[in-house]
Structure 1
Amino acid sequence: MDKEKQARESIINPIDPDKIAASPHNLPYAHTVGGVEIRPIDKGKVKGRAVKAMYKQTDMQLGQIKKQIELLAEQAQKIQDRIVVSEQIYNAQMNFEPLIGFTYHLYERKGAEEYVLSMVSPEEWGPNPPYRFIATVEMLADHTWDVLRMHDEG
């Protein structure tokens, strides 16, 4: 055993101890020929990509909010239309009691601002209707009116 120990001690290391790293994994560069190339980070590119991603994400979210606003505006307009038509219906001449779940048609007398609620659809009047068509409506269970069709929708 002493011979082995002497043999180990007699081997001279050809590598300069000043050129050997104690912990090469902490070096800021590759320490072997086959090591991964390590480059300094280009902070401008990193920030540029991050800003671009941020704008893309926020534009997408703003687009979603815009669609929601448009939907809410459309819903508000429909409610406003219901209010106007409901007021016209409750001020209209009715020769019958409207029933829940049935479809009725609101007309305006030609030349007067008087309204008529009828069971006759605009198509049933023929080519010369006596009234101007306003809306087709249905009475809901809470006695409000659902506007199924307005005069400008055809």
Structure 2
Amino acid sequence: MQKEVPDNVVFSKEQGYNAHILPYATNVGAPIIKTDDVVSWKNRGIQNVNKEFESKFNELRLQYQKLMEEFEWNELIYNAKFSFEPVVGEIYHLYIAADSTYFLSIISPQEWNKEHIGSFLLNSDKKWIFINQNTKQ
């Protein structure tokens, strides 16, 4: 039994001569079809993106830690005892009393012998900015 069409001719009964629409080479003289190595490109992209995400995550984590530290200092100072109205832009000092309560004072740690917790500046937003800690105990 002999074929109607030789093996080197692309022909199907449904589509006829369809070599021009096939996604692969159909004869020996056709150009080589190479698949791109997208796996290594994807891996490089994933590594770069993961590094970026990790860097951004670490940056946000540090910002969060700083924000929580500021919150804790502000909460401590606003819950401390003081009998004056603090002035914006002035430096105040936080101490711990003998009864383990905190109090705020304008007296610096060099001027008296109390357990100094830290020094703070009141900014225009009424937020206490930490300046230094434990200068004298």
**Higher normalized helix content (fraction of residues):** 1
8 Å CA contact 2:93–2:106 kept in 1: the answer is yes
Structure 1 residues 74-93: Cα deviation after superposition (integer angstroms, max 9, x where no partner) = 2321332233223233xx14
- Size of the aligned set, in residue pairs, is 107
Which residue of 78, 82, 104 corresponds with 2:73? 82
CA distance in structure 2 between the aligned counterparts of 1:53 and 1:83, rounded to whole angstroms: 45
- Provide structure 2 residue ranges, at least 5 long, that are not aligned to the other structure: 1-28
Determine helix, strand or coil for the equivalent of 1:122.
Answer: coil
Amino acid at match of 1:108: I
The TM-score with structure 2 as length reference comes to 0.60
CA distance in structure 1 between the aligned counterparts of 2:97 and 2:121, rounded to whole angstroms: 20
CA distance in structure 2 between the aligned counterparts of 1:142 and 1:70, rounded to whole angstroms: 24
Q: Are the structure 2 counterparts of residues 88 and 28 from structure 1 closer, same or farther at C-alpha, using a change threshold of 3 Å? A: same
Amino acid at match of 1:98: P
- Provide structure 1 residue ranges, at least 5 long, that are not aligned to the other structure: 1-26, 30-38
8 Å CA contact 1:100–1:143 kept in 2: the answer is yes
What's the C-alpha RMSD, in Å, of the aligned pairs?
2.7
CA distance in structure 2 between the aligned counterparts of 1:105 and 1:139, rounded to whole angstroms: 11
8 Å CA contact 1:93–1:115 kept in 2: the answer is no
Q: Are the structure 2 counterparts of residues 41 and 115 from structure 1 closer, same or farther at C-alpha, using a change threshold of 3 Å? A: same
Which residue of 45, 48, 51 corresponds with 1:60? 51
Structure 1 residues 10-41: Cα deviation after superposition (integer angstroms, max 9, x where no partner) = xxxxxxxxxxxxxxxxx744xxxxxxxxx542
Structure 1 residues 114-141: Cα deviation after superposition (integer angstroms, max 9, x where no partner) = 333222222343xxx2x22122111223
